Copies of this chain bind each other. A is one copy, B any other.
């Protein structure tokens, strides 16, 4: 049995979607970031990093979105969430997911979590990061739109976890006052996913 730890509004959405698209049987556990549940001793035993997502399996816990996504794809191969039989195409999935976690998510994090990278009372620097974040997010999305997303899915005709991860980060664009329609391929990909019952189910749970 899998236990999935998540919080609404976080990148955990991508892994949550992957579990649904995989048809996995899992127990979802919601953490309340407002009461800092992710820092509670009980949760730090699950994930010492104090972050979500985390996926507890019979053999131990897996964290970090790209790792969880590939693990789900490999555990439920019949769902076709990654090109497991093609090392090059799988590398393209991992390349995209790695860009999302190390560059795009990081660009986003400078809006609300600038205190990570300067002293917590340095409000001037934190405000400066907040101000630049939308510009960096727009640049990342322009690069993905023009150079990386082949359409109709990230890989082209083949659906993959990269689509679910991109969907998740694209859902953060309104918080930066960026209209996703500036990026037609990504907007179209997001619209098609918005219509899927698996997406609607998870979004409803996160909003509840």
Contact = CB atoms under 8 A, between A and B. Distances in A.
Query: How many of these chains are in the complex?
Result: 2
B90 A74 contact: yes
A134 to B, nearest CB: 12
Interface in A123-146: 124-125, 128-129, 131-133, 136, 143, 146
A145 to B, nearest CB: 12
Interface stretch (A31-39, A95-103, A178-186): A95-103
Contacts of A129: 117-118, 125
A147 interface: yes
A99 B132 contact: no
A60 interface: yes
A173 interface: no
A116 B106 CA distance: 11
Interface residues of A, number: 50
A62 interface: yes
A30 interface: no
B67 A94 contact: yes
A141 B88 CA distance: 32
Interface in A84-128: 87-88, 90-92, 94-95, 97-99, 101-103, 105-107, 110, 116-119, 122, 124-125, 128
Interface of A: 48-49, 57, 59-60, 62-68, 70-71, 74-75, 87-88, 90-92, 94-95, 97-99, 101-103, 105-107, 110, 116-119, 122, 124-125, 128-129, 131-133, 136, 143, 146-148
